[in-house]
């Protein structure tokens, strides 16, 4: 899931992994943070409320945890790093790193259809800290596998999050859209295609969830039916969604021929995505997410 609260001393590891929030023993609070690169201080020219441009303040460590340190700590807790049955990777899904594909991986994102052909969707807590601001110097690496970047490396140019997320970390709008830079004169959707955005598609849907655990250089995919956690939250039971999988898309109506579908959620929301590896959450994609998308593409 994205940051997971593991047993005993493993909770520190989970916080460092920076995806799906780890909660304190007292329960989730607004102050609970997922890890991630250090926030940048840049702002975009004249963005609409909730639109930010990442700065260049990222570091090679996730709250002091480098990739090597994360992997070493994971090795000490093998029970938390199981890998779900492998499937063919959807090339629209990728890992989010600091700086480059050699940087620290802490979240997952995916390409979503837009008029500009340049938009990805992830969890808000992956790219913006309500207390510290936007996180800087991030790249999206779709189809990443074991150090290979077959579909290129796409720097994030600007990020759009809801003002309620910026003000209080509202878990009901833990969603972000980001514009990525073109590569070789082409936009990411021109190269890879895109999933459609699904709004008000109900809580109970058959979905595929693909994400990148920070403990592995390979993605995992789970197919199951989403459920209603609350009117504003989805949940799904899938094994092994540990740190790194925050922002993983929940895709319904998947077409094997085109390898596209409709994204109806991303790992995030309640408990920043979940405090165990086997149950994940998402903010419900309703009118607020549609408004956020409209602002990102307007």
Sequence spans of domains, the chain: 10-77+84-297
Which uninterrupted H or E stretch holds 288? helix 287-297
Distance of CA 142 to the CA centre of its chain: 12
This prediction's pTM: 0.75
Q: In what order do the strands lie in the sheet with 227-230?
A: 227-230, 233-237, 279-283
Angstrom distance (rounded) from CA 156 to CA 54: 7
DSSP 210: E
E-strand stretches of 162-297: 176-180, 196-197, 206-211, 220-225, 227-230, 233-237, 249-255, 260-266, 279-283
Do the bridges between strand 138-142 and strand 133-134 make them parallel or antiparallel, or are there none, so unpaired?
unpaired
Residue 14 φ/ψ, nearest 5 degrees? -65, -45
Given this model, what pLDDT does residue 29 score? 30
- Look at the domain 10-77+84-297 and name its fold: Thrombin, subunit H (2.40.10)
Which pLDDT tens digits describe the chain residue by residue (298 residues)?
433 333 223 333 333 333 333 322 233 332 222 334 434 433 233 334 344 334 333 322 322 233 443 344 344 434 333 334 344 457 899 999 999 999 999 899 999 999 999 999 999 999 999 888 888 899 999 999 989 999 999 999 999 999 999 999 999 999 999 999 999 999 999 999 999 999 999 999 999 999 999 888 889 999 999 999 999 999 999 999 999 999 999 999 999 888 899 999 999 999 999 999 999 999 999 999 999 999 999 9
């Amino acid at each position: 899931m994205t940051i997971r609260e593991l047993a005993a001393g493993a909770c520190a590891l989970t916080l460092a992994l920076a995806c799906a929030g780890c909660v304190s023993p007292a329960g989730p609070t607004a102050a609970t943070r997922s890890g991630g690169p250090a926030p940048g201080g840049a702002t975009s020219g004249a963005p609409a409320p909730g639109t930010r441009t990442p700065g260049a303040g990222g570091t090679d460590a996730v709250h002091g945890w480098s990739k090597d340190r994360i992997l070493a700590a994971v090795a000490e807790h093998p029970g938390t790093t199981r890998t779900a049955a492998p499937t063919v990777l959807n090339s629209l899904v990728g890992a989010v790193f600091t700086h480059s594909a050699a940087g620290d991986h802490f979240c997952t994102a995916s390409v979503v259809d837009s008029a500009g052909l340049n938009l990805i969707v992830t969890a808000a807590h992956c790219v913006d800290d309500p207390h510290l601001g936007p996180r800087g110097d991030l790249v999206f690496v779709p189809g990443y596998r074991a150090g290979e970047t077959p579909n290129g490396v796409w720097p994030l140019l600007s990020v759009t999050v809801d003002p309620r997320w910026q003000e209080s970390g509202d878990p009901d709008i833990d969603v972000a859209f980001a514009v990525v830079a073109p590569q070789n004169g082409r936009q990411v959707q021109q190269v890879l295609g895109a999933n459609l955005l699904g709004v008000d598609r109900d809580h109970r849907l058959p979905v595929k969830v693909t994400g990148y655990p920070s403990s592995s250089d390979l993605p995992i995919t789970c197919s199951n039916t989403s459920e209603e956690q609350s009117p504003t939250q989805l949940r799904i039971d899938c094994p092994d969604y540990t740190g790194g999988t925050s922002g993983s898309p929940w895709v319904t109506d998947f077409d094997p021929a085109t390898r596209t579908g409709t994204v109806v959620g991303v790992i995030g929301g309640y408990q920043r995505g979940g405090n165990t590896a086997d149950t994940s959450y998402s903010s419900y994609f309703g009118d607020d997410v549609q408004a956020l998308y409209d602002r990102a593409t307007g």
